[in-house]
Structure 1
Amino acid sequence: MTSRVSPNDFSAVERWIILSVLAFASGLAMLSLTIANAILPQMQGDLSAGFEEISWVVTATMTATAIAMSAAGWISSRLGQRRALIICGIGFTISCAMLGVADGLGEVIFWRACQGMFAGPIPPMSITVVLNIFPMREHGPATMGMTAGYALAPSMGPVMGAYLTDIYSWHVAFTFMALLGVILLLLIMAKIPAMDRRPGLRLDWFGLLTLAIALGAAQWTLDRGNHEDWFESPEILTSAIIVGFATYLFLAHSLTTRQPFVDLRIFLDKNYVIALIFWSVAGVLEFVPLVLMPTLLGRLQEMPVEIVGILLAPRGIGFMFGIIIFVSLVKFVSSKTLLMVGMSFHIPALWYLSTFDMTVGLEQFVYAGILLGIAESITFSGATTIGFSTLALDLRGYGSAIFFCGRFFMTSAGISIFVTLLSRSTQSNHASISEFVSPFNQALPLINKAVFWDTSSLSGLARLDGEITRQSVMIGYLNDFWILLVLSIAVMPLILLIDRPAARKN
C-alpha cells in the first residue's frame, strides 16, 4: 500500500502537468459520449434503424458510463488511480477500435456500452486525484482546469465526428478515437505517479450487482416503454418491478453491510446532495439539446452532416466565455453565487430554442449553443466546489463516483424521456392537424400551395401529409424545449438551501 498523497508532495508545475493529463483523459471520455451525436442520421441510415432505436447508441453509452462511474471509488481504492487509469484506457481504446469495424446495430450498441464502461471511471478518478494534489485554496482554479477538458470536449465531439464522417465514414471517427486512446495511455504511464491504494479492500459484489441491475432495468424501461405501450406490456411491467426490487435490495444492503459498494454517508452532507441535484439536472439541460438539435437539423432542414457538426461547435466558444466569467468572479463572489449564475444561463438558452420555427436560421443555433456552453462551464465548477467543500476526505472517492454516476444516469434517462415525448407529441400533433384537412374546410383552397396540396389526387395528399408530419415534428421539438425550460426554472430555489462551507469533517 502506497502512502496517501498530499499537495506538499508535488511542486506547482508538477500539479498542473498532472492536471493537464487528467483533463485530457476526462475530455477524451466525454468526447466518446458526444462524437456520435452529429452522425446519428448517417448511422441511422447505414444501420437501418428507427429514430428510437438509433437513440440507443447514445443511451447505452450513458447507462454503462453511469454504472461504471459508481464503481470508480472502489476501483481507484483497490488498484490505485494510476493503475486503474491505465486499465480503463486500454479497455477504452480496444472498444473504440472495435467500433471502427462494427457493421450491425447490435454490435455498435454492445461496443458503445463497453466504451462507456471503460470511460466512465476516468472523470471521477481524475477529479479525485486533482482535489488531493491541490491545496483547498486552489480547488476553484483546479476544477476549472478540469472543466477545460471535461466540458469543452463534448462540444468538439460532434464537429470531429461530422468532419470525419463527411470525408470518410462514421467508422473512421471511432478509429480516430482509438488513436487518441493510445496517446492517452502513453501520457498516463509517463506523467501520473503511483498513488495510495488498498490492496485488501474487497468489492461489495452484491451492492454492485443490485445497483447495476436497478440502473440498467430503469434505462431499459424508459427506452422500450413507448414502443411496448408502457405498462400494458408484461415486459415493461416486469422491468419496472425489477427496478423497484433491485433498488430496495441495494439500499437495505448498503445500510447494513460493513463495507458497502457505495457509502451512503455521502448523502448526509446537504451541500453535496444539492450540488448533485444541480449537476444531474444540468446534464439533462445540456445533453438533451445536444441530441435533439442534430436530428432537428437533419430531419427538418436536411442540412449536411458537416454543417450540423459546425453548428454544435459554438458550445465550445460559450464554454471559453464561461471560463472568463468564472475566473473574473471566483475571487469576489461565493461558489453559491457562481452556481446560480451558471444555472441562470440555461434559461435564456432554452427559451431561445423554444421559439424556433421551420424557418430558423443558422445563427440562431449558434446563439443558443453559446449560452449553453457558458452555462455548462460555470455550473460544473460551481457545483463541484460546493459538493466537495464539506464532504469528509475519506468519502471523496465515493462522492466523486456518485457525483458523475448521478449526472450520467439522469442524462441517459432524460434523453430517453424526451425522445419518447417527441415521438408521442409528434403523433398527437399529426392527428390534431389532420382533422383540418377536409374537403369541407373552406380555408384550405385559399392557401398559396393549394394546387401543390391538391386533395383530389394521391400525390397531392402525400405532399400534404408530408408537410403535416414536418409541422408535427417541429411542434414536438418545441414542446421538449419548453419542458426543459420549465425544469431549469423549477430547480433554481434549491440554491437558497446551500450552506456556507464550514470546517471540513474528517
Structure 2
Amino acid sequence: MNTTTSAAADARALRFVALLATYLQSANLPLPNAALRLIQGSLSMTDDQAGWIFTAYLAASAITTPVAQWLAGRFGLKLVYQTALAAFATGLWLVTLADTPLTFIAARILQGLAAGVLAPLSMAIAMETLPAARHQGFGPKWTALVLFGIVSGPSIGGVICEYFDWRPMFYLSLPLTAYIFMVVTLLLSEKKAAQRPAFDFFGFASFTLGMIGLQMLLDRGERLDWFDSPEIWIEALASALGLYLFVVHVLTRQVHFLSKGLFADRNFLCSTAIFFALGFVLLSTMALTSPMLDEILGYPPDTTGFLTIPRGIGLVGAFLLMGRAPTRIDPRLFVVLGIALVVYANWLMLGYSPLMDWTPVAVSGFVQGAGLGMLMPALSKVAFSTLEPQLRPEATGFFNLMRVYGSTLGVAVVQIYFFNNTQSMHSALASQLTPYRHSLPTSPPALEGLNHLITHQAAFIAVMGQFKILLVAMLVVSPLVLFLRKPVAAN
C-alpha cells in the first residue's frame, strides 16, 4: 500500500513540475512585454530590434519543437529534458548579463531553443503520469496552460519591473527551473527507445530552412531596405528553396516527418489554418498593446502588465465553462462563437483613443480571452476527432507548431507595417503644419516638443492600422468553419 501511495505521489510531483515547466517556457516569451521601453533604453535597442525580443524566442523554439521527441528517443527522455532545463536556465542568466542588443537576442535564442524541447517533452511526461482514460482531454488543457502563460507573463514582468528593474523579472524563473531540475533528477526514470528512432531530417531541414528564411526576411527587411540588400535576396531565395524542397519531398516520399494522413483530413487542415491565424492574432495583439500603453500613452510598467490580466481571466473562465458544456452540443458552434468573440475584440480595439482610460483595453482583452478560451478546446476537439488515433501525437506537435509560426510571423508583419505607417503618418501630419496656415513656435525646444507630439499621434494611428490587419486575418480564416465536418465519437 505504501509503495502504491509513494508511486502515486511521485507521479503527481512529476506532473506538477512538467506543467510548471510548460507554464515557465510560455510565460517567459512575453515576459519583457511591459518593460520594452526600459529594455530598449538600457541596451540602446532600436524599435525594429525590439521585435526580435519575441521573434528570436519563437523562431528558435519552432526549430527544436519538431525534433524534441526524436532527441528523447535517441538519447533518453531524462537526459534531454535535464539538458533543456540547464540551457533554459543559462539563457535566463545570460539575459540578465546582456549589455548590448546582440547579446540580449542571443540569450533569448538560447531560451527559445530550450523552450522548444521543454514544451513537447513536458507534455509527454505529464501524459505518462495520467491514466489512459484521461489522455483524450489533456491536450486542450495543456494548450490552455500555454496560452495562460502567454497572457499572464507581461503582468508578472510589469510588476517586477516597476518596483525593481527589468533584469530581476528573469531571475524569478531561475529557482523554479532549479526546482524542476531537482524533481526530475530524483523521480524521473531514464527512458530510451528500444530501437534507434527514425527521423526525416531532410524534410525537417527543408521546412525549417523555408520558415526561418522567411522569418529573417521579415525581421531584417525594413532595416536593410528590402531587396536593395544582398542579404535579403539570400534569405528570400533560401526560404523559397526550402519550402519548394519540402513540398516536393512530401509529394514524392511515402515516409516523412509529417504523415500524409494529416493532409488528407479536412477537419485537421482547416482547424490548423484557424489555429495559425489565432497565433498570428494573439501575440501580435499583445506586442502592440503593451508598447502602446507604455511608450505612447505613458502608463507605468505595472499598470501595463496588470491590463493583461483581464485577458487571462476571460481565457481561464471560458475554458472552465467549456469543460462543463453538454457533449450533445456540436463543438463547431463554439468554434464559430469563439471566432466571433475574437473578431469582436479586435473590432473594439479599433476604437482606442489617446484620451481613453484603461477600461477599453481591459474590456477588449477580456472579450478576446473569452473567445480564445472557448475556441481552443472546441477547435482541438474538431481537429482531432476525425484523425486516426496513431496520427494524433504527430498531429498535436504540428498543430501547436503552427501556432508558434503564426505568432512569430504575426509579430514580424505588424512590426513592418507599424514602422512604415508611423513614418507615412508623421509625414502626412507634419505636412499640414506650415507657417502660412498656423502660428507655429520657432524656438528649438518648442519645435522638438511639437515633433514629439506629432510622432506620438502618428504612432497611435499606426497601431490602429495594425489592429485592422489582425481583424482581417481572423476574418479571412473564418469561412473555413463552413468546411468542418461534425466531429465523430472519440476512438
Fold equivalence (TM over 0.5): yes
Q: Which of these residues, 464, 467, 472, is aligned with residue 478 of structure 1?
A: 464
1:104 aligns with 2:100: yes
Could you tell me how far 1:284 is from its partner in structure 2? 1.4
- Residues 199-219 of structure 1, C-alpha deviation per residue, up to 9 Å, x if partnerless? 411443333333332222111
Which stretch has the larger CA shift, 332-341 or 357-366?
Answer: 332-341
- 2:482 alignment counterpart: 496
Which runs of structure 2 are paired with 1:86-485 in the superposition (5 Å)? 86-127=82-123, 133=130, 135=132, 139-140=136-137, 142-189=138-185, 197-256=193-252, 259-441=255-437, 444=438, 454-485=440-471
Could you tell me how far 1:190 is from its partner in structure 2? 5.4
Which stretch has the larger CA shift, 170-179 or 291-300?
Answer: 170-179
1:40 aligns with 2:40: no
Distance 1:68 1:53, change over 3 A: same
Distance 1:429 1:134, change over 3 A: farther
Which stretch has the larger CA shift, 100-109 or 387-396?
Answer: 387-396
- Residues 417-459 of structure 1, C-alpha deviation per residue, up to 9 Å, x if partnerless? 1011111111111111122112332xx45xxxxxxxx344444
For residues 103 and 276 of structure 1, what CA distance do their matches in structure 2 show?
Answer: 39
For residues 328 and 103 of structure 1, what CA distance do their matches in structure 2 show?
Answer: 49
* SS at 2:99 equivalent: coil
Q: What RMSD over aligned residues (CA atoms) do the two structures have, in Å? A: 2.7
* SS at 1:345 equivalent: helix
For residues 35 and 260 of structure 1, what CA distance do their matches in structure 2 show?
Answer: 36
- Residue type at the aligned position of 2:146: Y
Which stretch has the larger CA shift, 58-67 or 389-398?
Answer: 389-398
Which stretch has the larger CA shift, 369-378 or 143-152?
Answer: 143-152
- Residues 156-195 of structure 1, C-alpha deviation per residue, up to 9 Å, x if partnerless? 2112212222333222222221222112223444565666
- 1:449 alignment counterpart: none
Could you tell me how far 1:24 is from its partner in structure 2? 2.2
Distance 1:124 1:344, change over 3 A: farther
- Residues 393-432 of structure 1, C-alpha deviation per residue, up to 9 Å, x if partnerless? 3333332222222111121111011011111111111111
* SS at 1:100 equivalent: helix
For residues 202 and 48 of structure 2, what CA distance do their matches in structure 1 show?
Answer: 32
C-alpha contact 1:225 1:236 (8 A) present in aligned 2? yes
For residues 335 and 87 of structure 2, what CA distance do their matches in structure 1 show?
Answer: 35
- Residue type at the aligned position of 2:477: V
For residues 484 and 14 of structure 2, what CA distance do their matches in structure 1 show?
Answer: 31
For residues 413 and 488 of structure 1, what CA distance do their matches in structure 2 show?
Answer: 15
* SS at 1:38 equivalent: helix
For residues 266 and 15 of structure 2, what CA distance do their matches in structure 1 show?
Answer: 28
- Residue type at the aligned position of 2:83: I
* SS at 2:299 equivalent: coil
Could you tell me how far 1:62 is from its partner in structure 2? 0.7
Could you tell me how far 1:73 is from its partner in structure 2? 4.1
C-alpha contact 1:69 1:404 (8 A) present in aligned 2? no
For residues 126 and 329 of structure 2, what CA distance do their matches in structure 1 show?
Answer: 23
C-alpha contact 1:19 1:146 (8 A) present in aligned 2? no
For residues 251 and 291 of structure 1, what CA distance do their matches in structure 2 show?
Answer: 32
- Residues 245-296 of structure 1, C-alpha deviation per residue, up to 9 Å, x if partnerless? 1222233334445653433432222221112111111111111111111111
Q: Which of these residues, 44, 47, 51, is aligned with residue 47 of structure 2?
A: 51
- 2:4 alignment counterpart: none
Distance 1:363 1:143, change over 3 A: same
Which stretch has the larger CA shift, 157-166 or 411-420?
Answer: 157-166
For residues 195 and 271 of structure 1, what CA distance do their matches in structure 2 show?
Answer: 34
TM-score, structure 2 as length reference: 0.90
For residues 212 and 52 of structure 2, what CA distance do their matches in structure 1 show?
Answer: 13
C-alpha contact 1:346 1:372 (8 A) present in aligned 2? yes
Distance 1:344 1:78, change over 3 A: farther
**Structure 2, unaligned stretches of length 5 or more?**
1-6
**Structure 1, unaligned stretches of length 5 or more?**
1-10, 446-453
Could you tell me how far 1:494 is from its partner in structure 2? 0.7
C-alpha contact 2:279 2:404 (8 A) present in aligned 1? yes
For residues 412 and 70 of structure 1, what CA distance do their matches in structure 2 show?
Answer: 16
For residues 131 and 381 of structure 1, what CA distance do their matches in structure 2 show?
Answer: 17
Distance 1:201 1:135, change over 3 A: closer
- Residue type at the aligned position of 1:311: L
C-alpha contact 1:144 1:381 (8 A) present in aligned 2? yes
Which stretch has the larger CA shift, 483-492 or 238-247?
Answer: 483-492
- Residue type at the aligned position of 2:156: M
For residues 378 and 77 of structure 2, what CA distance do their matches in structure 1 show?
Answer: 25
Identity %: 24
Which stretch has the larger CA shift, 12-21 or 64-73?
Answer: 12-21
Distance 1:311 1:167, change over 3 A: same
